[in-house]
Amino acid sequence: MNTSVNIAGVELKNPVMTASGTFGSGMEYADMVDLNKLGAVVTKGVSDKAWEGNPTPRVAEVTGGMLNAIGLQNPGIDVFIERDIPFLKKYDTKIIVNVCGHSVEEYLNVVERLADQPIDMMEINVSCPNVKQGALQFGQDPKVLEEVTKEIKAHAKQPVIMKLSPNVTSIKDMALAAEAGGADAISLINTLIGMKIDIYRKKFVLANKTGGFSGPAVKPVAVRMVYEASHAVKIPVIGMGGIATGEDAVEFLMAGATAVSVGTANFAEPKSTEKVIKGIEDYMISQKIDDIKDIVRL
């Protein structure tokens, strides 16, 4: 059976990766998950300087999912290069570094610091709904997205994945903009902007008021958007949004994704990534499919 997929010249042993922000840099999950089995680890977003993130409460459960407003807390690229990349290099998996910033300059600072690092790809977060300045503003206007993508591509040594926001009018236009800017791949969906109110305490549950909605409940939205985006562009699409099982992953592949990411499911079941990989293999056996590329694309 062949489950390997190719994204921008990088060969992944299987199409399953972690969704940024749900898996740290793998360190915390290494007790429970064999990182060698994963197609790739996509790290939590890293910026040029350390970010403190938002006040707490930062997370809330909702029916079939959760809200988060972490605010991209991270130790900054220097610590990341010293600590997280060497850790991940011990494993036989691909390393995709998620990059965040408040400004184009901040993105470029990280992209340039990564140039001589042994990583396989970078994913640019232009779609975080939880930081006030930057991030999402680059991901909601196709012209701005195309420009940012061009700038990053001009400086990046590794293939660039642009991570798209679902909080847009036309995901197709955003996918086309990323492609026009030279992106090697796109990933979607980032979280949907949500809100939860505690009616007894008469307060917003999250200190940030709004947060990114993720989990099984968002899957139909994600599948639809992956379908629309992947049919608009020629570059590979990494699909995510509510994937918890092999069947969920296959649904995204049929919608047009080349690979998938497992996010919130890691919180519900730490071994979710391994379970998704096994589930895809079980599906291929049951459907007598020898090569994952032969899974029908609708």
- For the annotated catalytic residues, the residue numbers are 128
As measured in angstroms, the least distance from the Cβ of 276 to other proteins is 15
Minimum separation from the CB atom of position 243 to other proteins (A): 13
Q: How far is the CB of 227 from other proteins (least distance, A)?
A: 24
Decide: 84 and 25 in contact? Cβ < 8 Å: yes
Residue 232: Cβ within 10 Å count:
18
Of the pair 21, 139, the CB lying nearest other proteins is at 21
Q: What is the DSSP letter of 44?
A: P
Residues of the chain by 3-state class (helix, strand, coil), percent to 5? 35, 20, 45
**Distance (Å) of CA 93 to CA 16, 56, 205, 260:** 11, 33, 37, 15
Structure-block tokens of residue 260: 């998938």
| 262 neighbors 280 (Cβ within 8 angstroms) | no
Nearer to other proteins, 61 or 290 (CB): 61
Interface residues with other proteins (CB under 8 A)? 21-24, 28-29, 31-32, 44, 50-53, 56-61, 63-66, 68, 70, 73, 75-76, 79, 215-216, 264, 266-271
| Helix (H) or strand (E) segment spanning residue 197 | strand 197-198
Rounded Cα distance between 5 and 39, Å, is: 9
CB nearer to other proteins: pick between 154 and 197: 197
Indicate the SS3 state at residue 28: helix
As measured in angstroms, the least distance from the Cβ of 277 to other proteins is: 18
